[in-house]
Structure 1
Amino acid sequence: MAEERTTQPETWLYSFSKTGWFSPSYNIEIPDDAVPVSLENMIALKAGVTAGQVIVPGEDGEPVLGESPPPPTEVLGTMERRWRDFQLSATDPLVTRHRDELELELPTTLNAEQYQQLQQYRVALRFWPESADFPTQVDRPQPPNWLAEL
């Protein structure tokens, strides 16, 4: 029975223009900007990319890890509107239950102050996209403290 060889290519190259890895052992065409990278560095770079970093040219032209640029403002706005819509949907049942309890003259789960705070939070969520701080996550409207306990 023949032994199966599982060897790694001796040379790895990284191309910034193609944002990819190449090896003369596997690739016929290699971009002109491809630079050699050791197997150890390639593994570290791939681990960094998996963790959310990006590969950028270092001072010497070799690939190094850098921080991912933030998404464009339009993308952030879309993401934050989705978050806002989710928060509104998540609190809809509380509003509905409170109104149902009032209409049926039942004891309410929320007291009057909690209901008012909940509605103020929901109004803040609705107006947040027009805020000067939008779409910064740290400036999101904050829910009432008691809401997490329900």
Structure 2
Amino acid sequence: MKYFYSAKTNGAYIDALNTVMPDDAVEISKKTYVNLFTVPINGTVGPGKDGLPIVIAASGPTDDEIFAREREWRDRELLRSDGVVARHRDQVEVGEATTLTGVQYKSLQSYRSQLRNWPEQKEFPILSSRPIAPDWLAAQIE
């Protein structure tokens, strides 16, 4: 039995199983076939410069993707709390009893200020440095 790899399809082939193979298929060892195509690897398989398969190391998101993801999170948090702020302001304006205490409202506005300023902080976009919402906020939103 012989084993082959095609850079065009990035696929492995066995002559006993595959009657048709891509025209660029090159023979590879059984060991290479087993190590790259039958067991989990840390990365992906792709063609090397010589057309033979190699492991391409797994890469995480780019810095730009991480920054964008964290800005999107920040924007969602601001939007999520917009309704709580609007409700409180409306209640104050019409003289109704407010859902939030004065202390809660100030802590909410402080949180929102931290969210707006977070992308300019040196810790941005480290997850552990995200501003922390007041623990009561989730109950107000649901």
Q: TM-score, normalised by structure 2?
A: 0.71
One-letter amino acid of the structure 2 residue matched with residue 42 of structure 1? F
Please state how far the C-alpha of 1:148 moved relative to its aligned partner.
Answer: 2.3
Matched, 1:105 2:92: no
Aligned AA (2:130): R
Q: Contact 2:36–2:45 at 8 Å: present in 1 too?
A: no
Q: Is residue 42 from structure 1 mapped to residue 37 from structure 2 by the alignment? A: yes
Q: Partner of 1:128 in structure 2?
A: 118
Is 2:111–2:132's contact at 8 Å kept on the other side of the alignment? yes
CA pair 31-113 structure 1, distance change in 2 beyond 3 A: farther
- Structure-2 change in CA distance of 1:132 and 1:62 (3 Å): same
Aligned equivalent of 2:43, options 35, 54, 73: 54
Question: For this pair of structures, how many residues does the alignment match?
Answer: 129
Q: Give, in angstroms, the shift of residue 33 of structure 1.
A: 9.3
Contact (CA 8 Å) 2:5, 2:53: kept in 1 or not? no
Partner AA of 2:37 in structure 1: M
Where do 1:1-150 residues align within 5 Å?
A: 11=3, 13=5, 20-23=10-13, 25=18, 26-30=20-24, 36-38=32-34, 42-45=37-40, 54-55=43-44, 68-150=58-140
Deviation of 1:27 after TM superposition, in Å, equals 2.7
Unaligned runs of 5+ in 2: 47-51
| Aligned 8 A contact 1:73 1:135 in 2 | no
Q: Is the 8 A contact 1:13 1:21 kept in 2?
A: yes
**Conserved 8 A contact 1:88-1:125:** yes
What's the TM-score once normalised by structure 1's chain length?
0.68
Alignment partners' CA distance in 2, 1:56 and 1:107? 63
SS in 1 for 2:124: coil
Q: Name stretches of at least 5 consecutive residues in structure 1 with no aligned partner.
A: 1-8
Which whole-Å CA distance do the structure 2 matches of 1:33 and 1:87 have between them?
54
